[in-house]
Amino acid sequence: MFMPRSPADDLARLRAQIAVLRAREAALEARFLEMNETGRFPGFTCDVVVSRTGHEILDVSKLPAGIVDDPRYRTTRHVTSVRIEARDPARPPAWALPDPGDDFDLIERD
C-alpha cells in the first residue's frame, strides 16, 4: 500500500537519523577528549584539532540584590521551537478532516 509522507513525517524521520549521527559523533569526540590532550590528530582525509580556550563570564550570583532584582536590567528573549510529537494513530490528521465551514452533501444508501 502506498503511504504518502507529509513534511511532518519527513522532519521526524530526519531528526531520528540526526539523533543516530549525533550519538556517533559524541562517541567519537569522547575518545579524543578522554586523552585529555590538545593538538592535531591526523586522519586520512582530515584532521581533528582539540584545543582549549577560556573566556570570562559574569557571575550573577555575586551581584547586589538591588541590581539582580531590578527589572531595568532584565530583558526578554523569545525562542521559537519546532518539535515532533507522536500522533495517536486512531485520530486522523487535521488535514484529513473536513473543514467545519465547508458545505457537503450527505449521501445515505439503503
- Per the structure, the count of domains in the chain is 1
Q: Average pLDDT over the chain, rounded to whole?
A: 85
Reported as a single tens digit per residue, the pLDDT across 62-90 is: 999 999 899 998 899 998 988 877 777 78
For residue 108, being part of any structural domain is answered with no
Domain around 26: 7-80
Question: Which cell numbers hold the place of 24?
Answer: 556517533
Does residue 59 fall inside a structural domain? Answer: yes
97 occurs within a structural domain: no
- Any idea which of 8-12, 63-67, 92-96 has the lowest mean pLDDT? 92-96
> Measured between alpha carbons, how far is 60 from 79 in angstroms, rounded to an integer?
22
Facing residues of 48 across strands?
A: 41
Asked whether residue 102 is domain-assigned, the answer is: no
Asked if the structure places residue 2 within a domain, the reply is no
Helix (H, G, I), strand (E, B) or coil at 49: strand
Is 64 part of a structural domain of the chain? yes
Q: Rounded to whole angstroms, how far apart are CA atoms 3 and 10?
A: 12
* 36: alpha, beta or left? (left if phi > 0; alpha if psi -120 to 50): left
